[in-house]
Structure 1
């Protein structure tokens, strides 16, 4: 067997392949799942509804709760394989198990999506539950997606009397744009394990989905007197997707066709609404003690959950322009835990802290001064604002004229005011129900993904080759002499796509022909590498990793047999296509960010 690394590079041309449509008119229904850090939900629309009004999307209503989203919590039975419940039901059942002291053998996971953020993922990655017990992360995610999938299936079929067939549903799963490819692939495989066929599944980037939805909103539904739909071709805007776990920021431009192209790569951090929740919990620790809060959470999970729900409501009301105290009920179980743990009541404990003059308890009502309540947002907002400043300071983003705020945390008055004050020269768009913009936009994306025309590559992609040694391009340490007596560069990174390059969706970004050497046998090993570095020289450079390999069966042996390698970006994922020119046989290399290690 001979590697593609033994080939000599003949030529490279930029392809002008017509866009490949991802649209399938057979899809009677598009179903989207928004799997969030804090809350999750689903939505769908039928083809005939989309054709008449793209924004007409049906979202889940959680029974017994006035909410279109439920908590991202999953309860798995002691066998570690069987789902018991998800969302509100999982919280309630697990609290019941705690009360009956029967929870130790069960698996309860909450807010676990952030495990995929900046982690070295593989298919055997483990996830730790509330008791410190571990399960395969793939199992936890797959069972959660399966619940949402089956719940949506039941409701959608009720609408038209069981008339929808499985092959008539196209599924869309949303992911943050700032996630790396391993995390995106992990979610795809979890969805496949949940029973969704790969060719019936699209991965949608959250800011893009929100953009598509808001592009269709008229002024009266856009949350202001300025709507995204009013922007003409060539106009640019920044998307600030503030969710529960992450803040996802990118820059988009309106195309001549009315679509959207990514102008600047997505970036951001773990500064979402849960960061405010973390600050509130740290505040409780400061008022009492770390062990007290830990015991309260462990022994009274239902009360702890209820306290967080109350804070979730209150934190949306915290106003930067109001000095009204934040007043919220505190569970009796918390006050009892404080008494037992500290041997003093709550008010006496507070008197010993720096909050003695700003926090009081009257009955079960905790009263917090407005300055303290606003401080819960400081780390999250400061990090977000500084990052937006940095992005807007880039030369390529000088044309940005508006900021589109979506995601549940975008409904916060504190974050809204900070953005408006810091960037007074930019129009601010916060659509009604900003938390549902991504979910509804994902449904629209599933019906017609052609609304997104260009994306920015996060990686440099290339093929491992051994070209003729060139001292002006190759390091001396890489020189070797092959069996034909020719000096070559070992492990050369032959670049096809550069990090930061604009990619036309559905088109081949590069075409490169490789020709076999005289020593070639009947098979060729092609190896694909990726790196965040824009200009790697060797595949052994720091940060380079193999993401795919394929043994190509050739029709003949010997030198001079050309192989065409093309990289095509369809949707949010990459396809590497290899064609043996002599026969026209086409093969595809599976790109796998979960198996290959740096």
Structure 2
């Protein structure tokens, strides 16, 4: 929390300082700005809440913050400008009329986020398939490179190098970052990477030999050579660093395109810093020759620029698809003909009920309209003097769980519904909206018409 909040505070303060230099006078105040914080679409609700709390700790007001999903932001941005196709002709997502479908591949440093969008009648975007992806971003290539160095110098040497020489380690990764952006399937030229002197010294200290000798003994022959402080690698070696990441992306996209709901996809929009890699771009052109592969200029900034558009027009995304079956746990009168005895509980008022029933709020794969509550259910207290009802939210990976204890079902959050008056005949209507980037809960007590908006706690 400290690391994330300090990072956000730095960006916030830097923006305010820059605005002061440009505008003159006192510049802008934090409350003058509506802030948008982007997160991967595959992140869960707890991770989104964590980012919101980090932003609040950084001095951003809760009501002045919107959480945006990265592939959606990038998609909005690319709907607003012409972008280059690989064959130097021009195409533009804004020319995609109603009913046209395209897949958004947001390949960043850590994660690869994939969503499928369809253009609506008024130019808004509908999500056709729940967001999916994995940890296949550019840092996977970095990890493969460092593991390769570990095989040459010794994994224990690399670990010590990271611990003792952090600045040199970061410089090494920066140098590799520049080189990996030039690596392409069609290029066979050797790649030269400058190794810090501290790494060679550590090999001498810990292994009692020179790094050059270690590399010569590695069995790589001409594929890896050390000349001075320069490590020269054959292109074929460097290309293997991309293998896990790219093959995971290609397979996942291929599986998605095979699903019936995604039939008719015409283009793949590649955004995010890792999408600027020629290795990733060319492999997608090879594997999906019938689709238009679109990479906008400065693909790494597409999410950032799209977040600004989303902040001004959050309803540009009109429909989303639920990643889980969401529900709450309720009790019902016990029926021994259909309820397991292990769920039976006798309460102090003498009533016998069945516990842990999964009360479905929204179903896995369900299309949800943004701004409209996906579910409204009535709940009544068990006891006359109850002042609140604690409710838990569960997420399940199946469409029709029976109990909250079923396999693949877990509690992800909780909230407390306030109640006034007495008696068990009091009723509260709970309306939940899952279609936004965060879950919203509206509670209305029928006899008083009191309305309360609650935030679900996903972190406790």
TM range (shorter): over 0.9
1:251 is matched with: 116
Distance in 1, matches of 2:29 and 2:85, equals 34
1:349 is matched with: 214
Alignment of 1:483-522 (within 5 A): 488-515=353-380, 520-521=384-385
Tell whether 2:293 aligns with 1:428: yes
The CA deviation at 1:522 is 5.1
SS across alignment from 1:262: strand
1:8-29 CA-partner distances (Å, limit 9, x unpaired): xxxxxxxxxxxxxxxxxxxxxx
Distance in 2, matches of 1:154 and 1:188, equals 23
1:324-346 CA-partner distances (Å, limit 9, x unpaired): 11123333333333334333333
Between stretches 472-481 and 487-496, larger displacement belongs to 472-481
Tell whether 2:452 aligns with 1:549: no
Given the two structures, how large is their TM-score scaled by the length of structure 1? Answer: 0.72
The CA deviation at 1:528 is 2.9
Distance 1:546 1:375, change over 3 A: closer
1:143 is matched with: 6
Alignment of 1:295-374 (within 5 A): 295-374=160-239
The CA deviation at 1:152 is 1.1
Distance in 2, matches of 1:500 and 1:472, equals 32
If asked which structure has higher relative contact order (CA below 8 Å, sep 6+), I would say: 1
Whether the 8 Å CA contact 1:233–1:256 is kept in 2: the answer is: yes
2:144 is matched with: 279
Distance in 2, matches of 1:529 and 1:385, equals 34
1:188-221 CA-partner distances (Å, limit 9, x unpaired): 1011111111110111111011001011012459
Distance in 1, matches of 2:196 and 2:405, equals 57
The CA deviation at 1:348 is 2.0
The CA deviation at 1:490 is 2.1
Match 1:198 to one of 62, 65, 68: 62
Distance in 2, matches of 1:169 and 1:378, equals 43
Alignment of 1:72-91 (within 5 A): none
2:270 is matched with: 405
Distance in 2, matches of 1:447 and 1:561, equals 41
The CA deviation at 1:590 is 2.6
The CA deviation at 1:139 is 1.3
Structure 1, gaps ≥5 residues long? 1-137
Tell whether 2:72 aligns with 1:211: no
SS across alignment from 1:159: helix
Q: Root-mean-square deviation (CA), in Å?
A: 2.3
Between stretches 454-463 and 231-240, larger displacement belongs to 454-463
Tell whether 2:389 aligns with 1:525: yes
Whether the 8 Å CA contact 2:379–2:429 is kept in 1: the answer is: yes
Tell whether 2:224 aligns with 1:375: no
Whether the 8 Å CA contact 1:504–1:569 is kept in 2: the answer is: no
1:206-264 CA-partner distances (Å, limit 9, x unpaired): 10110010110124599862222221112111111111111111111111121112111
Distance in 1, matches of 2:33 and 2:85, equals 29
SS across alignment from 1:357: helix
1:155 is matched with: 18
Distance in 2, matches of 1:214 and 1:546, equals 34
Whether the 8 Å CA contact 1:548–1:589 is kept in 2: the answer is: no
1:332-364 CA-partner distances (Å, limit 9, x unpaired): 333333334333333322121121221112333
1:40 is matched with: none
Distance in 2, matches of 1:561 and 1:532, equals 30
Distance 1:449 1:463, change over 3 A: same
Tell whether 2:130 aligns with 1:265: yes
Given the two structures, how large is their TM-score scaled by the length of structure 2? Answer: 0.92
Structure 2, gaps ≥5 residues long? none
The CA deviation at 1:304 is 2.3
Distance in 2, matches of 1:313 and 1:241, equals 20
Relative to its length, the structure with more helix (as a share) is: 2
1:175 is matched with: 39
The CA deviation at 1:540 is 3.3
The CA deviation at 1:470 is 5.4
Distance in 2, matches of 1:301 and 1:523, equals 55
